[in-house]
A and B are shown apart, each in its own frame.
Chain A
Amino acid sequence: MDLEKIKNDFPLLNKRIKNKPIVYFDSACMSLKPKPVIEAMNEYYYNYPACAGRSHHQLGEIVTKKIKEARRTVAKFINADEREVIFTRNTTEGINLLANSLNLRSGDLVLTTDKEHNSNLVPWLSMVRKKGIRHMVVKSKVGGLFDIEKYKELVKGAKLVSMVYTSNLDGTTIPAKEVIRIAHENGTLVFLDVAQSVAHQKIDVKKLDVDFIAFSGHKILGPTGTGIFYGKYELLEKLEPFLVGGATVESSIYDGYEMLKAPEKFEAGLQDYAGIIGLGEAVKYLESIGYDNIKEQELKINSYITNELARWPQIKIIGPLDPALRTSIISFYIEGVDMHRISLMLDNMANVMIRSGQHCVHSWFNDKKIFNSARISLYFYNTMDEAKIFVESFDKIMKIM
């Protein structure tokens, strides 16, 4: 992997604030955007800012073709059929689509992990209130790993397993293939929130045999406001659309309408064409880097930082200590210390940008009675030099704590 070339592809990595380089360690929240993505979006606005699928003039045809290409690229990326790829605004919208389209009934059981992002917790809690469904949590083992035995007990009779594949809290990944197999043996559908996974590992929906997945474009080098919801086609056919209106119907009369097939029936209203085109480019860029290279770079830096943090006994890493089990994430806290302070100091000292807080996993923090944590989230464009800047700055902070 040519890090110098990569650096040149990302405009932000060549910028400086107060004459110091930017150390961006917050990719789990938002990945940086390479030039091809930005240029593809600009090209839409400059050269063919028209509607897709409606207007049959030359510009409209170009956009229609570009959107089809993007859908094809994404479908190939996750090994799905084009008809199974639905463009959304983000992962949250995808999960809401599922929660509201699945025709859940009172008493239906939905199973989640104990480390769900609010986007895969609140929609189900909302269904508990609205429809009286049941919601149960599979708690992790000590050390943060998935408790498959506990899962086997709880999955019986569940209508849906809705789980985060890779946690944005601690970077741990659940054994998805086994989870799905067990669920299917029980006649249970499985949704995976792959927002944190797809940026770092190959997602093959056919190999996983997963029923539904959702992810966001902004975590895989794509634009904000873009996302993907995938569903097996036969299941999508059975789902009632969550949002209806323009672009979802074949035709309508004053007292009725005829829906389009999937994926169009789920894509109500005018889409973010520039964003979708940018997302297609982001996928292409990601594939050009290759997941092996991504994993190698992330593990190298994660291992280095984990070892350096281990020098300070007061630091507690959330999740397993082995960096290989935490992909790109190092989430840590110090008893009695507001970790916002740490992140703000790093930012002010050396432009080291990490996230602090509860990372939208409030339920886990409230359950564990931990105030908050600091989270370093890496990506392939991060370097060892940046890691050294972090360690040097962090050491200074620890000396005054």
Chain B
Amino acid sequence: MICIISLIVFSILGIFSATHRALAKEALDCVFRRVTFRPCNTGFKEKMKSRIIGRLLSKSVFIARIANKHFEIFSWIFFVLMIGSTFWVVKGGYNYYIYGSCNGLNQSGFCAFDPKGENNKVTDINQQCGIEEKTEKNVTLENVDLSTFPTKNVGSKDTVVLIGCYECDYTRKAYSDIQKLVKEKKTNYIFAHYPAKENTNFLSEIGYCVYKDYGDKFWAFNDYLFTVDKVEIYQSEYINTILRNFDFDVKKINDCTQEPETKKLVNDQIVQLRKTHLYGTPTVFINGEGLVGPKPYRVYKSMLNKFIIF
């Protein structure tokens, strides 16, 4: 059993070291003999056992005695542990590729491939940008009415919903990938602004009015708000300049935002968004599956693909 463990361990170490490469070769020879039902007479097992026991002997005779006596049992235990850990590593790698987190969809535990948890960071809906969400909830689109939000590519079989905040770094990080996905896959796309920061509430109203009055021209405006320096959208005065630059009727838009009907509708939108149980932005739904935090593009893409990468 020690031969199999050695083969795997030394093969990995052998990538970096010639000494371990030679040991891996010896281990392979030993394993090959075993799988072809021949005795492993290469001396490799004895060599490994002696090295391990020899090292232990210089630390503790008691531990060395136990290890020597039950060497095969320990080898099996380590083998099972190694198979188990290999399974979890592979699973973690798969999860990371598919969901951007080793632990699975929207799980924010430690991930060796993403040690800083960048793929799970969100802007807390009640606090400031950059706070990592600790609580994991099931976000859902069930019983959520998205009919009043800007929509394009209606009729597509796939649907992407982006709930984000214009001023939040993590939404900005995810935004371009979502646009790329929508453009590439021609999905039905719904954008919902959720003002994670209170000082951007007015942008929800402006967005609603622009979409209502100018239809598809909204999308270019929306793109601009996500790419422009955040300073330009912190204050409502700057927005007028932006609206003007897009040839929108500034007065008409501003009047629209002041209408009680608009206020009510935007408030209703927030109510609907809260029904999703979202806890931070960005929250993306792809065909109803929720993804919280800015994921790598491949993760978004894989949610639409039948065979992971195609």
Give residues in A with beta carbon < 8 Å to B: 338, 340-350, 393, 396-397, 399-401
Contact = CB atoms under 8 A, between A and B. Distances in A.
A342 B53 CA distance: 10
Given A345-B57, A347-B54, A349-B54, 4 more contacts: A340-B46, A341-B53, A346-B54, A396-B61
19 contacts: A340-B43, A340-B50, A341-B46, A341-B53, A344-B47, A344-B51, A345-B50, A346-B54, A348-B51, A348-B55, A349-B57, A350-B58, A393-B57, A396-B57, A396-B64, A400-B61, A400-B64, A400-B65, A401-B68
Contacts of B263: none
Contacts of A399: 61, 65
B25 interface: no
B34 interface: no
B57 A400 contact: yes
Interface residues of B, number: 16
Most interface-central of A338, A340, A341, A342 (chain B CB within 10 A): A341
B49 interface: yes
Interface string B48-91: 01110111011001001100110000000000000000000000
A347 B46 CA distance: 14
Contacts of A343: 50
A40 B123 CA distance: 77
Contacts of A347: 54
Contacts of B58: 348-350
Nearest to A343: B50
A345 B68 CA distance: 12
Does more than half of chain B's interface fall in helix, strand or loop, or is it mixed?
helix
Contacts, number: 48
B48 to A, nearest CB: 9
Nearest to B49: A341
A344 B65 contact: no
B57 A344 contact: no
A373 to B, nearest CB: 15
Interface string B198-239: 000000000000000000000000000000000000000000
B43 A348 contact: no
Nearest to B52: A348
Nearest to A344: B50
B64 A344 contact: no
A348 B53 CA distance: 9
A340 B65 contact: no
Contact of A338 (B46, B53, B61): B46
B42 to A, nearest CB: 11
Does more than half of chain A's interface fall in helix, strand or loop, or is it mixed?
helix
A132 B143 CA distance: 101
A345 B46 contact: no
Nearest to B54: A348
Contacts of B51: 344, 348
A334 B46 CA distance: 15
A400 B53 contact: yes
B3 to A, nearest CB: 16
A344 B50 CA distance: 6
Interface string B137-157: 000000000000000000000
Contacts of B53: 341, 345, 400
A340 B47 contact: yes
Interface in B80-112: none
A313 to B, nearest CB: 19
Contact of B50 (A348, A350, A393, A396): A348
A100 B54 CA distance: 46
Most interface-central of A346, A350, A393, A400 (chain B CB within 10 A): A400
Contacts of B47: 340, 344
Contacts of B49: 341
Contacts of A349: 54-55, 57-58
Nearest to B50: A344
Most interface-central of B49, B51, B54 (chain A CB within 10 A): B54
Most interface-central of B50, B51, B53, B69 (chain A CB within 10 A): B50
B32 to A, nearest CB: 21
Nearest to B64: A400
Most interface-central of A343, A346, A393, A397 (chain B CB within 10 A): A397
Nearest to A393: B57
Contacts of B43: 340
A312 to B, nearest CB: 15
A393 B50 CA distance: 13
A400 B55 CA distance: 13
A338 B68 CA distance: 14
A342 B47 CA distance: 10
A80 B21 CA distance: 51
A350 B64 CA distance: 15
Contact of B46 (A344, A350, A396, A400): A344
A340 B53 CA distance: 13
Contacts of A344: 46-47, 50-51, 54
B244 to A, nearest CB: 76
A345 B58 CA distance: 10
A245 to B, nearest CB: 38
A393 B53 CA distance: 12
A343 B47 CA distance: 10
A348 B47 CA distance: 11
Contacts of A346: 54
A399 B64 CA distance: 10
Contacts of A393: 57
Contacts of B61: 396, 399-400
A8 to B, nearest CB: 28
Nearest to B48: A344
A340 B46 CA distance: 7
A350 B54 CA distance: 9
Contacts of B64: 396, 400
A399 B50 CA distance: 15
A341 B57 contact: no
